[in-house]
Amino acid sequence: MATPITALHMSGIRRRKGLAVVAAGAALALCPSLGIGQTRAIRFGLTPVFLDDRVRLLRQWALYLEGELGSSVRFMQYGSYTQVMDALRAGELDLAWVCGYPYVLYRQELQLVSVPLWRQAPLYQSYLIADKASSVRTVDDLRARTFAYSDPLSNSGFLYVQHLLRSARHDPSNYFKRSFFTYSHRHVVDAVSQGLAEAGAVDGYVWETLAELLPAVTARTRVLLRSPDFGFPPIVAPRARSAAQVTQWAHALKQMAVHPAGRLILKDLRLDGFTDGTPSLFDSIATMSREQRV
């Protein structure tokens, strides 16, 4: 079940109960629209990657998109990638911001709408982080330690670590003493900083944004390893949405970089803009996904 977040009413945001910390995540998404002349609200799915306590930002974003698209916009927040993907595939969402991993898993059912630009490129990295005071220095030091993953369908928060361990001829299923999912990149950082895990895997964009906006959150962690570049988590829509709708949504997102209100929102998101992107951006994730299924 998703929690709706509209431009004028934003309440009841459901938070994960797995960790006793305040959810304030840090990866961000965008918005949608239906075709011109259609009156049903555009349903845009968000996952725990998104900062779920930034009410003002979401209001501003919804108002911007409504002005560009001529339709009301409703954000829908879900507790996991599986939930948002189920909603997309069931036609309950018009578009959503998802990770590259579920995108490649369900590529035949989805179409790419837009890809965020971070540091002038549609790319990001997975960060392996550790407690700043710990003796962990390399991946080999993580054997028999407690490790925090983000989500089973997260590239940066799960898939890349699985690939990294297999590449070193380790069995990911028994490499760690214990591992668990937090269902939020912010919660991975919290788990490591609060001693619930000795290390974890997190979206690099999230960690860097937290380090800038809320430095106290990342102060007790350090980056152990940065992955190669991957395609930034994309905005996708079901195949059933028309080419005209997708083009309209993509245009509204790209216009943010030249619109005064859009630029302010991008500044808050710590993004540079949006681009059309191409499916090939996610080829390396697709390769790791095939390895995961073997």
Cα 236 to chain centroid distance, Å, stands at 12
pLDDT of residue 19: 30
Q: What is the bridge-based pairing of β-strands 42-46 and 221-226?
A: unpaired
pLDDT of residue 53: 55
Q: Which two three-digit tokens encode residue 88?
A: 């997309």
pLDDT of residue 76: 87
Residue 61 near residue 67 (C-beta atoms within 8 A): no
Residue 96 near residue 191 (C-beta atoms within 8 A): no
pTM confidence score = 0.85
DSSP notation for 65-83: HHHHHSS-EEEEE-SSHHH
pLDDT in tens, 171-183: 999 999 999 999 9
Q: Which two three-digit tokens encode residue 15?
A: 């938070």
CATH class of this structure's domain 3-122+233-293: alpha beta
3-122+233-293 with 123-230: one CATH topology?
yes
Listed by start position, the domains of the chain span: 3-122+233-293, 123-230
Cα 259 to chain centroid distance, Å, stands at 24
pLDDT of residue 32: 36
Strand order in the sheet with 199-203: 178-181, 146-149, 199-203, 126-131, 221-226
Contact residues for 252 (Cβ-Cβ < 8 A; gap 6+): 31, 33, 65, 68, 69
Q: Which two three-digit tokens encode residue 293?
A: 């299924």
SS3 at position 207: helix
Q: Which two three-digit tokens encode residue 292?
A: 């995961």
Low-confidence ranges of the chain (pLDDT < 70): 1-39, 48-54, 294
Helix 55-69 with 260-269: angle, nearest 10 deg: 140
CA distance 83 to 262: 29
How many residues in the chain?
294
Per CATH, domain 123-230 is 3.40.710.10: no
Determine what percent of the chain falls in helix, strand and coil, rounding each to the nearest 5. Answer: 40, 20, 35
CA distance 273 to 294: 37
Residue 5: which H helix or E strand, with range?
strand 3-6
The phi and psi torsions of 160 (rounded to 5 degrees) equal: -60, -40
pLDDT in tens, 22-37: 222 333 333 333 344 4
pLDDT of residue 49: 61
